Structure 1
Amino acid sequence: MSATGGRRVVITGVGVTAPGGIGVKDFWQLLTDGRTATRRISFFDPSPFRSQIAAEADFDAELSGLTPQEVRRMDRAAQFAVVTAREAVADSGLDFAALDPHRIGVTIGSAVGATTGLDQEYRAVSDGGRLDLVDHEYAVPHLYNFLVPSSFASEVAWAVGAEGPGTVVSTGCTSGLDAVGYATDLIRDGVADVVVAGASDAPISPITVACFDAIKATTARNDDPEHASRPFDASRTGFVLGEGAAVFVLEELESARRRGAHVYAEVAGYATRSNAFHMTGLRPDGAEMAEAIRVALDEARLVPEDVDYINAHGSGTKQNDRHETAAFKRSLGDHAYRTPVSSIKSMVGHSLGAIGSIEIAASVLAMEHAVVPPTANLHTPDPECDLDYVPVTARDWRTDAVLSVGSGFGGFQSAVVLARPDRSAR
């Protein structure tokens, strides 16, 4: 459905839990300072692994407002989701108690669900892997909630009093974009009036590190964690694992205006495509991502020249960076060379399903403050990546329309267009 053919959907509340920044203010400060939150893994002994670094969030559940019972009941990623949703709701200024609960929806994205909790509980019930027949009496009482990712949406729904549609979206590393896109459609189609949407992942666990070690997707630059994530740089050697969450309050534009809400941006266009090609491989021409970008721009009724900034997937693998660069050129033409592009994964790592929503948060804050966050650690660009990747230092830059894209294992390619509601096409 066209963004102008139905109800227009806007973001009026933002919450972020990220490495180096708990809460929107600290997150944005980290990005604009160009600081990195990557370090040697502290959650467990990483020495047996090829890649021993990650971007960890300095998150204390009880200090963040969760009760001891909530902490016991929820996996770390679910805790992220609830705390971050509460920040977004407070930021929106909406009185959720005064709303019809059946018209409030929840859409949460996650790639790997409660990986951290399941890993910890397996070690407990198996006595560190010693027992073939595990002893369930050592498990937490709410272990089932760790098994089913749907518990993430349930927890957020309980936290905000939502009795409308509740959904978990799990499309790998595009989950955070797709969750927002799906939530937008719920409002456009009249299914809900308000949706709390975003994504959360806490994948920094031995099993996740081992999986990425096996395919050598993560960097082994263990001697220099701070500078290990190097998207678009010729010396990059893979991505750095991260964790975190970003959650938004989405509502219909006219309703937001009537109550005098602060509007960050309109979700003007969204599209997703699959490449039906390879579980982890990407075609070098970027055709599927380019198609997602084209459809998202068409839905937003914008042309390539309207895009002021691209928040890239920018994982820091050679395959992805070159594929993505090709997609920008294919979809935007010559305008791609005039458009600032940056990857915040250089600072907060790759939090799998959560990162798409975290990047949407960075995008709306870039619009809010007229500043483009940099690509940290970019000193020697890959000759095949020849666009303006905003190296090292943030840039003052007014943006009326931002393109945020994601690429995920399984061939998923998604694009979201965020724009000022009062924009006019050029």
Structure 2
Amino acid sequence: MKREAVVTGIGVVAPGGIGAAAFWDLLTAGRTATRGITLFDPAGYRSRIAAEVDFDPAAHGLDDHQVARMDRYVQFAAVAVAEALADSAAPLAGVAPWRVGVSMGTAVGATTRLDREYTAVSRGGADWVVDPARTAPHLNLALMPSTLSGEVADLVGARGPVRTVSTGCTSGLDAVGYAAQAIEDDLADVVVAGAAESPIAPIAMACFDAIKATSNSNDDPARASRPFDRDRNGFVMGEGAAVLVLEEASAARRRGARVRCRVAGFANHGNAFHMTGLRREGVEMARAITTALDRARRPATDVDYVNAHGSGTVQNDRHETDAVKRSLGEHARRVPMTSIKSMVGHSLGAIGSIELAACVLAMDTGVVPPTANLSTPDPECDLDYVPMTARERRTDVVLSVGSGFGGFQSAVVLDRGE
């Protein structure tokens, strides 16, 4: 019998609400969490807006040692892990630690700490020869992206396959896809999977300022993230984390777990084209979608909802629209396709897992979240983006897609299984 991976728990730390319930309330209400940056002084930056998480680690159960050791993005992950495990109702009970895995994604890792600590050791960049005595004792952990997966593995006692995925903005999708494959390949019975990111720091904002990828609608931050809208001018940086508990399907059902959905198909392709550019026709994303549907044994006409990458750049929105048309054919015009980045911003590597959490909740509730701020559609983006207001719709098969700098194109299919 073919092994299958199912989702039995989710945990979310997102702008505008911590916890899956608060996150879903924000999305279905069509509220935006984008605002002026408060995590540092953004004076002088082209883009001075972001979707920040209002986060008190102590209030969410992290002790002083964890706060000192963990960068902000790892703290997000720890809180999301705790919620996901609780939601899954003791998925690790009776499972040998050698059969428990971790798959976590991040695009830029401990940017927050590295930026802060370099500022401290160099007196704000004034000193070329830095003073190591000024560094925090755990600074070495900030250098390694694998710190995220290591910390999560320690939290859950995982001794099975532990991996860190860093494929830019598709990291969160890829981490969950690879987790499902680990279960299908009989490498693990339970995998804690997701992604985390905290890139709202001076160096990261400067990087995206330099290529003018982020919105400079600083006077209207609540409406700055405008995927598929004619008047959009870039994405809005975000932060956060989401974690999914994946289990082998038959074992989950035997223990009486609530099976929320199946990770039915996953695929990723590169475009070998340009570090940040995209071909308009979207061939590689279309191939990822088609491959993921083939692996799920689903025709394109089964798709009930597409959770778009929808970053809010002209290049991405048109590329993605064409890719969905290419892969779904005429069905593309009948299926709702929305971008939650309009409300929670673009948290780079974390957003793919946050979007998958939204897909699970859409399946649970029979509600499709809207694309906020979509008031004047781009005439070249002509699909059903569910503007402004959530829509009731039963979703049995959901497609989530992602596109990342470096040419990464990924797709995940979730369904209700048998």
TM-score range, shorter chain: over 0.9
User: For the Cα contact (< 8 Å) 1:194–1:250, is it kept in 2?
Assistant: yes
1:235 corresponds to 2:231: yes
Structure 2 residue aligned with 1:403: 399
3-state SS, counterpart of residue 410 of structure 1: coil
Tell me, yes or no, if structure 1 residue 190 matches structure 2 residue 181.
no
Is 2:81 aligned against 1:85? yes
Aligned positions of 1:271-286 closer than 5 A: 271-286=267-282
Structure 2 residue 299 is the aligned partner of structure 1 residue 303:
yes
2: CA distance, partners of 1:44 / 1:358: 24
Instruction: Give the structure-1-normalised TM-score.
Output: 0.97
The one of 115, 120, 124 equivalent to 1:124 is 120
Aligned to 2:286: 290
TM-score by length of 2: 0.99
Distance 2:322 2:181 in 1: 29
Q: Read off the aligned partner of 1:195 and give its amino acid letter.
A: V
CA RMSD, 1 decimal: 0.8
Counterpart among 145, 150, 153 of residue 149 in structure 2: 153
Tell whether 2:385 aligns with 1:386. Answer: no
Q: Indicate how the Cα distance of structure 1 residues 237 and 165 shifts in structure 2: closer, same or farther if over 3 A, else same.
A: same
Q: 2:45 aligns with which of 34, 44, 49?
A: 49
Structure 2 counterpart SS, 1:96: coil
Structure 2 residue aligned with 1:267: 263
Mapped contact 1:86–1:160 kept (Cα < 8 A): no
The separation in 2 between residues aligned to 1:97 and 1:168, in whole angstroms, is: 24
Aligned residue identity for 1:247: V
Q: Which residue of 2 aligns with 1:372?
A: 368
CA contact (8 A) 2:231 2:376 kept: yes
SS at match of 2:6: strand
CA distance in 1, matches of 2:2, 2:300: 23
Q: Which residue of 2 aligns with 1:34?
A: 30
> How many Å apart are 1:165 and its aligned residue?
1.0
2:369/2:390 contact within 8 Å kept: yes
**Corresponding residue for 2:9?**
13
Task: Tell me the CA shift for residue 260 of structure 1.
Answer: 1.1
Choose which of 216, 219, 224 in structure 2 pairs with 1:220.
Answer: 216
| 8 Å contact kept, 2:91–2:190 | no
CA drift at 1:286: 0.5
- Corresponding residue for residue 346 of structure 2: 350
SS at match of 1:283: coil
Range 108-117 or range 133-142, more displaced: 133-142
The range that moved more, 168-177 or 132-141, is 132-141
- CA deviation string 1:107-150 (max 9, x = no partner): 10000000001001111111222221111111111111100011
Deviation at 1:97, TM superposition (A): 4.9
* Cα distance in structure 2, aligned partners of 1:111 and 1:328: 25
Q: Distance in 1 between matches of 2:404 and 2:106?
A: 12
1:308 partner letter: D
- Report if aligned partners of 1:96, 1:161 keep a CA contact under 8 Å in 2: no
What is the alpha-carbon distance in structure 1 between the residues aligned to residue 50 and residue 403 of structure 2?
Answer: 20
Instruction: State how far apart, in whole Å, the 2-side matches of 1:19 and 1:362 are.
Output: 13
The amino acid that maps onto 2:367 is V
- In 2, Cα distance between equivalents of 1:6 and 1:147: 40
The verdict on how the C-alpha distance between 1:95 and 1:231 changes in structure 2, with shifts beyond 3 A counting, is: closer
Residue 25 (structure 1) shift: 0.6
Match for 1:144 among 126, 137, 140?
A: 140
Deviation digits for residues 58-94 of structure 1, max 9, x if unmatched?
1111111101000000100111111111110111012
Count of matched residue positions in the alignment of Structure 1 and Structure 2? 418
Question: Is the contact between residue 244 and residue 354 of structure 1 (CA under 8 Å) also seen in structure 2?
Answer: yes
Q: Does 1:24 align with 2:24?
A: no
Return the match for 1:101 from 83, 97, 102: 97
Secondary structure at the counterpart of residue 58 of structure 2: coil
Aligned to 1:324: 320
For 1:68 and 1:342, the matched residues in 2 are separated by 40
CA contact (8 A) 2:92 2:190 kept: no
Q: 1:61 aligns with which of 39, 57, 60?
A: 57
Distance 1:270 1:95, change over 3 A: closer
What secondary structure sits across from 1:299 in the alignment? helix
Classify the secondary structure of the residue corresponding to 1:130. Answer: coil
Distance 2:132 2:26 in 1: 42
The one-letter code sitting in structure 1 at the alignment partner of 2:347 is S
Structure 2 unaligned segments of length 5 or more: list them.
Answer: none
* Deviation string, structure 1 residues 242-287 (Cα, Å, up to 9, x no partner): 0000001000111111111111110000000000000000000010
Q: How many percent identity over aligned positions?
A: 66
Partner of 1:210: 206
Distance apart, 1:95 and its partner CA: 4.8
The aligned amino acid for 1:412 is F
- Give the corresponding residue for 1:258: 254
Which residue identity does 1:420 align to in structure 2?
A: R
Q: Is the 8 A contact 1:296 1:415 kept in 2?
A: yes
Deviations 1:16-58 (A, max 9, x none): 0000010101000000000000000001111110000000001
**1:344, distance to aligned residue in structure 2 (A):** 0.1
CA deviation vs aligned residue, 1:303-347 (integer Å, no higher than 9, x gap): 010000000000000000000000010000000000000000000
The amino acid that maps onto 1:19 is: P
Measured at CA, do residues 225 and 255 of structure 1 come closer, stay the same or move farther in structure 2, by a change above 3 Å?
A: same
1:414 aligns to what SS in structure 2?
Answer: strand
Tell me, in whole angstroms, the C-alpha distance in 2 between the residues paired with 1:37 and 1:112: 22
Q: How many Å separate the matches in 2 of 1:181 and 1:394?
A: 27
SS in 2 for 1:183: helix
